[in-house]
Amino acid sequence: MMPQPQWRTLQQHAGPLQRRHLRELFAADPARGSRLQAEAAGLYLDFSKQRVNDETLRLLLALADARGLAERIAAMFRGDRINTTEDRAVLHIALRAPAGMHIAVDGKDVVADVHAVLDRMAAFADRVRSGKWTGYSGQPICNVVSIGIGGSDLGPVMAYEALQHYSQREMTFHFVSNVDGSDFVEATRNLDPAETLFIICSKTFTTQETLTNARAARAWCLRALGDTGTDGSEVVARHFVAVSTNAAEVVKFGIDAENMFGFWDWVGGRYSMDSAIGLSTMLAIGPEHFRALLAGFHAMDMHFRNAPLDRNLPALMGLLAVWNANFLGAATVAVLPYAHYLKRFPAYLQQLAMESNGKHVTREGSPVDYATGPVYWGEPGTNGQHSFYQLIHQGTQLVPCDFIGFCQPLNPLDDQHDLLMANLFAQSEALAFGKSADAVKAEVMPAALVPHRTFEGNRPSNTLLAERLTPYTLGALVALYEHSVFVQGVIWDIDSFDQWGVELGKALARRTAAEIASEGDPELAHDSSTNTLIARYRRLRQSIA
């Protein structure tokens, strides 16, 4: 239940405001476009094209107050166990705290531990990047394959793509996540095992997909390099490192504990790209750029902790997301980066937002009677313009958009960057202001086409603008979304840091895998649809024996 009177006040406020068009709101306040903005850590947020007025913001901030947002932020930064269903602290902010800062879990400072791991990662990255770390047959490492899934994959892939401009181009980077063997086979197809390093990323080191792919990688390496009369441990020692919290399982797999980079149970998987899970990022861009990435995260963290809520970027973005979801009825958010390097950013955000806030009960376990996390999706601009933007402009669903753009190109090519950014500005303008039937009629065309060519407008969007896509900016951007997701979870009173919803499917898959592998004719006790599908699959599948 959402008991707050502030919620009801917002509902009452939303009715009349829904009928006011953004055209009107802009006409009533000529300074709106330069006034409804906030800036931090190199990111400028223009939220003037959201369907809000000053009263909306005041009421949203009152709701945040009633929900105790300021205290919940303080509790996270203090290291309280705010992930209540897993009884864990939530301290990804400690991963980017500068040396010397003090953040304690159960009375023990964790920042020193974080920096000890960062230093080991840096020393390792320097050795690999300089060619001093060699493979089993003495060749330097040219290829890195990171194996992991979910939070142990999406962050590293996104960051590698986003920061490719800064990466060591003599090395190639590959990411394997899917238990579909095609993922592994295609990623390693053109690689020479003698020059390839595998990073096995798994917080628990028990994840089926990751361990299956890790075993495939070990067999692939040993087939090529292991004909040495040894048990292969020397090959594994030169070609495998692990990132995990579970040293015992890492060693059981055959990876030397010396070659393991640790992190902690107070780092959630989807909040871990700046922990040792980011080892592939550090190998690609080098320790110095990785530290700049952490500095960007930290700058946004400090802003989130210290800025008043009405000037606080993550708080404002989170509250606007709540406004769109709960008071304007938007079921999705489109994330539209006008930067090709950010092509995996929507997929990354999908996990961050949807695994965090796709919840149906409150922290106390009562069913919610309001919408929680919307669906996040998106594609880089301008590609989306030629496909799904039609629905955003003229469809019947309200799709709030986050446009993300940069003022300076990383690859200046004639005027292409100006064209790219012109498209971003044009899209947010067209969505907000549309094109009235009168304006369409004024153009000479058959009257029958007027409704088809009319744009209602009044489609809300944020625009995030930064100077340049750098490691620092990426860190600030990711932290902005992390904290905005947190703010939404606080308003919805849910645990944004657990993910019990993924467990049922995992358990059923284990049972089904055993049934599929069974020699005889297993008695299937699922529903009639699942029984029929499994039986048919067993009949038709190619033998893999």
- Chain residues in the site for ligand G6Q (CB under 6 A): 149-152, 202-204, 207, 210, 268-270, 355, 499
Q: Which is nearer to ligand G6Q, 268 or 286 (CB)?
A: 268
User: Strand 240-244 vs strand 332-337: parallel, antiparallel, or unpaired?
Assistant: unpaired
Q: Is 506 a catalytic site residue? A: yes
- The number of beta carbons lying within 10 Å of the beta carbon of residue 295 is 16
Residue 261, token pair as written in the block = 């980079």
Distance in angstroms (rounded) separating the CA atoms of residues 395 and 160: 35
Preceding peptide of 382 cis, ω within 30°: yes
Smallest distance from the beta carbon of 54 to ligand G6Q, in angstroms?
37
Smallest distance from the beta carbon of 303 to ligand G6Q, in angstroms?
24
Smallest distance from the beta carbon of 406 to ligand G6Q, in angstroms?
28
Q: Is 386 a catalytic site residue? A: yes
Smallest distance from the beta carbon of 500 to ligand G6Q, in angstroms?
10
- Of the residues 258, 386, 452, 519, only one is catalytic, namely 386
Instruction: Report in angstroms the alpha-carbon separations of 94 from 43, 277, 297, 383, 515.
Output: 22, 15, 10, 37, 44
Q: Which residues neighbour 289 within 8 Å (Cβ) at sequence distance 6 or greater? A: 163, 166, 471
Distance in angstroms (rounded) separating the CA atoms of residues 290 and 159: 10
DSSP per residue over 204-251, as a string?
SS--HHHHHHHHHHHHHHHHHH-TTSS-SHHHHHHHEEEEES-HHHHH
Q: Which is nearer to ligand G6Q, 243 or 320 (CB)?
A: 243
Smallest distance from the beta carbon of 377 to ligand G6Q, in angstroms?
18
- Of the residues 209, 355, 379, 482, only one is catalytic, namely 355
Q: Is 161 a catalytic site residue? A: no
Q: Which is nearer to ligand G6Q, 17 or 277 (CB)?
A: 277
Residue 5, token pair as written in the block = 């009177």
Residue nearest to ligand G6Q (CB): 150
User: Strand 401-406 vs strand 461-466: parallel, antiparallel, or unpaired?
Assistant: parallel
Q: Which is nearer to ligand G6Q, 90 or 282 (CB)?
A: 90
Q: Which is nearer to ligand G6Q, 129 or 270 (CB)?
A: 270
Smallest distance from the beta carbon of 264 to ligand G6Q, in angstroms?
13
Q: Which is nearer to ligand G6Q, 152 or 326 (CB)?
A: 152
Smallest distance from the beta carbon of 425 to ligand G6Q, in angstroms?
35
Smallest distance from the beta carbon of 205 to ligand G6Q, in angstroms?
7
Strand locations in 435-507 (E) = 461-466
- Count of CA atoms in the C-beta half-sphere (13 A) of 52: 30
Smallest distance from the beta carbon of 25 to ligand G6Q, in angstroms?
38
Q: Which is nearer to ligand G6Q, 151 or 314 (CB)?
A: 151
For 104, the 3-state DSSP assignment is strand
Exposed/middle/buried for residue 252 (C-beta within 10 Å: 0-12, 13-18, 19+): exposed
147 membership: H or E segment, kind and range: strand 143-147
Q: Which is nearer to ligand G6Q, 65 or 249 (CB)?
A: 249
The three-state DSSP-derived secondary structure of 6-66 is HHHHHHHHHHHHHCCCHHHHHHHCCCHHHHCEEEECCEEEECCCCCCCHHHHHHHHHHHHH
283 membership: H or E segment, kind and range: helix 279-306
Q: Which is nearer to ligand G6Q, 504 or 544 (CB)?
A: 504
Q: Which residues pair with 201 in a beta bridge?
A: 243
Q: Which residues pair with 524 in a beta bridge?
A: none
Distance in angstroms (rounded) separating the CA atoms of residues 108 and 78: 12
| Catalytic annotation, residues | 355, 386, 506
